């Protein structure tokens, strides 16, 4: 295999290996500090990061505000406190090696406030910001204000063109790299556009080559592209190295660092990763963000699928094929269904799915009473963890809502991501992973359940494997 040469990123000479930022607390100061100490580019998650009390115990993120707005302010305060704490841990563990980045989601609640708060409170500890999930126009200005580099996460040349024209051309000196995240293979939320088919993956090579052509036109010949999503063995990407069509290239690993000794995920999660088969990670549209996302097939996702499957279109007065009256709930409210849908609804009620919940699309889903109570409570407890949320109808704007009905087909993403990282419950929570996670079970490096340190993993990757 061709040798992997060091590269300058965020003003530091580093290995061309980047740790993916991942979501809530999954990439911590401890794991990212170890990645930087091994000479790579570390990325801790700045999404509702953990903070600690004077005894080193994680501070539970409990909300006391009576209104969503008050709880949202608490969430922002937690986010700033946790981001600073993780930056300090990563900096200390890195021992001055590598580079340390913070990952944020542009569509997370309070993104700009949290960015300013963490970067102000951790000055000199963070070398760069990676940012995706939306169109992060303003991240360039924020990075320039703090004189650190920014790394937008995009999934097409078209998206980068829009970012460049609107904002990035003004702050070109602080553009550290462009993360191309494969929307069919990456874990977590994916940047699939309406013109792309979620079920028809495209080869990343021509898409990245197109991005490089665009960047060259903009004078960004020496700005590296970071390939993210689907990266496992570097030897699989050897034809990308020293390739003028691709240009300076580095590789981001999101899934493989999950299975390391320093990874903060539970033992149950690590054991689950070792059992996955091809197809166990799949794209779904249940996220309250509105984005597609990739997660491990488990009871949590199967329950969400069941909700959507038990769904009928309804009207409030008989019209056309919707001729059959159907009563539901304690008040026996009457709606009208097609004959076939009425038969299905009666079947679901007989199976115990006796509670009907209306969606914003003039449909109704059927759930068990306990699930309805859980959904209602989660919607009421919303703390505004997203800039706008389809599940609770929260939005950061002045009105405080999206203007649409809350959608019971989705879920509280803050609740489940906090629970999956802070408990052993991996079956009944959302568990993000890249589509290559099945390779843990077949890669001889992980034989007999071997879990490497971050340093051992990086040494392995540097061999091409």
> Residues 270, 164: one domain?
yes
Alpha helices in 366-428, H assignment, sequence order: 369-380, 413-422
Pair (256, 337) in one structural domain: no
In a domain, 86, yes or no: yes
Residue appearing with tokens 């007999």: 448
Looking at the structure, do residues 58 and 182 belong to the same domain, yes or no?
Answer: yes
Residues 114 and 164 in one domain: yes
Kindly state whether residues 258 and 317 are assigned to the same domain. Answer: no
177 token code pair: 């790299």
The answer to whether position 284 is within a domain reads: no
Burial class (CB in 10 A: 0-12, 13-18, 19+), 137: middle
Q: Which residue(s) pair with 105 in the sheet?
A: 132
pLDDT score for 191: 85
Helix (H) or strand (E) holding 121: helix 111-121
pLDDT of residue 329: 75
Q: Does 210 share its domain with 143?
A: yes
CA-to-CA distance for 420 and 412, rounded, in angstroms?
13
Which residues of the chain register pLDDT less than 50?
Answer: none
| Residue 113 counted as domain residue | yes
In this structure, the chain runs to a length of 465
Residues 418, 357 within the same domain: yes
CATH code, 263: 3.20.20.70
> Which residue range forms the structural domain that includes residue 236?
7-274+439-462
Helix (H, G, I), strand (E, B) or coil at 298: coil
283 located within any domain: no
145's tokens: 């204000």
Q: Is 432 within a domain?
A: no
Provide the Cα torsion 11, 20, 17, 228; round to 10°.
Answer: -110
- Based on C-alpha coordinates, what's the Rg of the chain? 23
Question: For the chain, how long is the longest CA-to-CA vector?
Answer: 71
For 28, 125, 126, 281, the CA distances from 89, given in Å and listed in that order, are 8, 10, 11, 31
Query: Residue holding tokens 């903060």?
Result: 264
Q: Find tokens 């600073």 and name the residue.
A: 84
DSSP at 230: S
Residues 446 and 259: their CA atoms lie apart, in Å, by 9
User: Do 292 and 187 meet the contact criterion of CB atoms below 8 Å apart?
Assistant: no
Residues 457 and 362 in one domain: no
| Number of domains comprising the chain | 2
Pair 162, 40 in one domain: yes
Contact 127, 11 (CB under 8 A): yes
Task: Give yes or no: residues 256 and 379 share one domain.
Answer: no
Whether residue 74 is found in the same domain as residue 139: yes
Q: Say if 62 falls within a structural domain.
A: yes
154 in the same domain as 30? yes
Question: Residue 1 falls within a domain, yes or no?
Answer: no
The answer to whether position 35 is within a domain reads: yes
């Amino acid at each position: 295999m061709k040798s992997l040469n060091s590269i300058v990123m965020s003003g530091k000479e580093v290995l061309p290996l980047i740790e993916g930022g991942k979501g809530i607390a999954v990439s911590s100061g401890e794991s990212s500090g170890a990645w930087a100490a091994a000479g790579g580019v570390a990325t801790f998650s700045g999404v509702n990061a953990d903070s600690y009390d004077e005894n080193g115990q994680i501070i539970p993120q409990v909300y006391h505000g009576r209104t969503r707005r008050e709880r949202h302010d608490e969430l922002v305060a937690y986010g700033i406190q946790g981001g600073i704490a993780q930056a300090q841990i990563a900096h200390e563990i890195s021992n001055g090696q590598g580079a340390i980045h913070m990952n944020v989601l542009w569509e997370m609640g309070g993104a700009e406030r949290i960015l300013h708060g963490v970067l102000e409170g951790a000055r000199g500890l963070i070398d760069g910001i990676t940012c995706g999930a939306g169109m992060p126009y303003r991240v360039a200005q924020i990075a320039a204000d703090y004189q650190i580099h920014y790394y937008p996460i995009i999934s097409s040349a078209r998206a980068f063109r829009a970012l460049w024209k609107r904002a990035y051309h003004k702050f070109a000196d602080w553009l550290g790299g462009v993360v191309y995240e494969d929307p069919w293979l990456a874990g977590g939320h994916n940047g699939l556009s309406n013109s792309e088919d979620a079920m028809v993956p495209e080869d990343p090579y021509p898409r990245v080559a197109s991005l490089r052509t665009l960047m060259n036109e903009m004078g960004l010949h020496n700005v590296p592209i970071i390939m993210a999503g689907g990266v496992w063995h570097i030897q699989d990407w050897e034809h990308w190295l020293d390739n003028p069509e691709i240009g300076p290239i580095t590789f981001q690993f999101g899934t493989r660092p999950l299975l390391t000794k320093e990874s903060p995920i539970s033992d149950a999660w690590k054991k689950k990763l070792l059992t996955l088969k091809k197809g166990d990670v799949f794209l779904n549209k249940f996220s309250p963000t509105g984005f597609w996302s990739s997660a491990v097939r488990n009871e949590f996702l199967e329950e969400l699928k069941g909700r959507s499957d038990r769904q009928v279109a309804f009207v409030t007065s008989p019209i056309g094929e919707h001729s059959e009256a159907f009563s539901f709930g304690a008040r026996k409210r009457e709606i009208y269904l097609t004959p076939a849908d009425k038969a299905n609804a009666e079947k679901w009620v007989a199976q115990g799915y006796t509670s009907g919940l209306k969606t914003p699309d003039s449909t109704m889903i059927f759930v068990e009473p306990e699930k309805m109570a859980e959904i209602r409570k989660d919607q009421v407890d919303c703390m505004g963890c997203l800039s706008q949320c389809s599940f609770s109808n929260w939005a950061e704007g002045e009105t405080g809502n999206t203007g649409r009905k809350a959608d019971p087909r989705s879920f509280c993403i803050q609740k489940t991501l906090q629970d999956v990282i802070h408990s052993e419950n991996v079956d009944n929570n959302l568990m993000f992973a890249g589509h290559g996670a099945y390779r843990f079970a077949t890669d001889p490096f992980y034989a007999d359940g071997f879990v490497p340190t971050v340093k051992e993993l990086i040494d392995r990757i540097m061999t091409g494997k």
